[in-house]
Amino acid sequence: MIITEILARNSRLFSSRTALIERCPVDNTRRSISWKQFQHQANQLGNALSGSGIEKGDRVVILMTNCLEWLPVYFGVLSTGALAVPLNFRFESDKIELCTGIAEPKAFIFGPEFIQRIEAVKSSLDQHVEQWIFCGLPSDCPDWAIHLDAFGKPFSGKQTPQVSIELLDDAALYFTSGTTGDPKAVLLTHRNLEHACYVENNHHGQTTDDVFLCIPPLYHTGAKMHWMGSFLVGGTGVLLKGVSPKWILEAVSEEKATIVWLLVPWAHDILIAIENNDVELDHYELDQWRLMHIGAQPVPQVLVEKWQQVFPLQAYDTNYGLTESTGPGCVHLGVANNHKVGAIGLPGFDWEAKIVDKTGECMPLNESGELVVKGPGVMKAYYKNPEATRKTLKNGWLLTGDVARFDRHGFIWLVDRVKDMIIYGGENIFPVEIENFFMTHDRIKDIAVIGLPDERLGEIPVGIICPKPGADLTEQEIIDFQKELPRYKQLRKIFFGDVPRNPTGKIEKPKLRRVYAPDKRKDIHKLLR
């Protein structure tokens, strides 16, 4: 079923029930809409876009921070048969220009935060964009754009645009996070989006009574595709604008949230806040919180163990996926498999997985190779990039770029990114193994391990360590602590500083390499492919 049809069904079945809630702790505001209002807003925008000349197959950019309007805008675009193109709200002007140039959109819907960034490159963007649509206070709307309300006002929201859409039609362009280079445009179909709904609901059993707290950015596949499991059955979604342990726990308590998807840093922050008595759990109603799940990056086993000590009655799941697999779900641990915490899990609903060497041959159990997956969530292609598509899609299999292994029970253990692997004197070192080891230290909040060039050894492992707030930590203590590691995995240099992460929680290692190794780094990883 096309997801716009699912929205229409929700509007019929759950007309007056709350569909979405927006919480903004910064200014202490709360807004909400029903399923009927959700569909009305989506229909009105869809009809307005069609009325302005947007046709099936056109592209429409969405550049907005999380807000109550985001999802109705997204569904409004999809209802026209055009491709929704969400952009990372952290993109600066150059990346906005790059991605818009790839998508060549006819319309561009944006929020107030992006006016100056757009204006810096607008002359370039105008060669594609025919309609600039502003979502924010009318008084803030620039004179070169039309306000969203004014744009939609002449059109009805009672009926969806009269456009024939098939499951295999193109639906959206999602740009990769760009942690290893410029972002690539991932082309997803309506079937991909539909499959995400069923995968998530199969894995976590959402019902109409579940309340999903959504904190990560909606432009990314992760959070939105997890929400789609609740969307499928008419459950309520809560959008939290802002992140802190107090705000998260307040939202869970006050909105009676039952499911929360967290990034690793946020889960760490909650545990640290509890440990330091910055928040007191007795002040919140959390008994209804039945599931916490994490994805988007390797999850340290020690983090999950500490979480389960604090929340022993709560189910836990690890979720693995990529933008190219329509987000999470191609591999997941499963709430019944806590005995395997540390693994990323089993192939997800309707997914297959293999571990292969560089020739494509399957690896034996417990031998590391590249994880490849196959299923209805695999992207159609990298948009306008046939060379990258050929390298990543092989006979229907998606090459993830992640090193993993199968254990004897069929569970998949993530080792590291192929491109992050360090080759030290001929030995392969996977940074995540070292990072997980150091995360057991009770005074370390975060760590990133990268390889720096070395004339004799090729690369050496170095660590950038962020201590917990108020914690004293010396280089000698780190040296003493790492003696339990094999010598070749021990850090050769230690730096104390912040560990930058992108909005989906992934460590921005290229940024760290530019800071700590400004000299040009040899591309030794080409040998792996």
Domains and CATH numbers, the chain: 3-12+30-190 (3.40.50.12780), 421-528 (3.30.300.30)
Report the pLDDT value the prediction gives residue 181, as an integer from 0 to 100.
58
Q: What is the pLDDT of residue 457?
A: 67
78 and 3 in contact (C-beta within 8 Å)?
yes
Per-residue buried b or exposed e for 196-232, using 16+ beta carbons within 10 Å of the residue's own CB: bbbbbbbbbebeeebbbbbbbbbbbbbbbbbbbbbbb
Which H or E run contains 163? none
Q: What is the model's pLDDT at position 529? A: 30
Q: For position 522, what pLDDT does the model report?
A: 39
Q: Which amino acid is located at 398 in the chain?
A: L
Instruction: Write down the pLDDT at residue 292.
Output: 95
Q: Which residues of 259-277 are buried (b: 16+ CB within 10 A; e: fewer)?
A: bbbbbbbbbbbbbbbbeee
pTM exceeding 0.85: no
CB contact at 8 A, 346 and 331: yes
pLDDT at site 298 = 66
Instruction: Mark out the alpha helices in 277-383 (DSSP H runs).
Output: 301-310
Give me the pLDDT at residue 436, please.
84
> Over its length of 529 residues, how does the chain's per-residue pLDDT go in tens digits?
999 999 999 999 999 999 999 999 999 999 999 999 999 999 999 999 999 999 999 999 999 999 999 999 999 999 999 999 999 898 889 999 999 999 999 999 999 999 999 999 999 999 999 999 999 999 999 999 999 999 999 999 999 999 999 999 999 999 986 544 578 999 999 999 999 999 999 999 999 999 999 998 999 888 889 999 999 999 999 999 999 999 999 999 999 999 999 988 789 889 989 998 999 999 999 999 999 998 766 677 888 889 999 999 999 999 999 999 998 899 999 999 988 888 899 999 999 999 999 899 999 998 989 999 999 999 999 999 999 999 999 999 999 988 899 999 999 998 766 677 787 765 668 788 888 889 889 899 999 998 888 766 668 889 999 998 888 899 999 999 998 888 878 999 999 998 988 766 778 887 888 888 765 333 333 322 3
User: What is the pLDDT at residue 416?
Assistant: 66
Under 8 Å between Cβ of 322 and 342: no
- Can you give the pLDDT at residue 515? 85
What is the four-CA torsion angle of 226, 231, 235, 240, rounded to 10 degrees? 50
Q: Label residues 20-37 b or e (16+ Cβ within 10 Å = b).
A: bbbbbbeeeeeebbbbbb
Residue 422 near residue 459, CB atoms below 8 Å: yes
Q: How far apart are CA 1 and CA 356, in angstroms?
A: 34
Q: How many CB atoms lie within 10 A of CB 448?
A: 26
What SS3 state is found at 427? Answer: strand
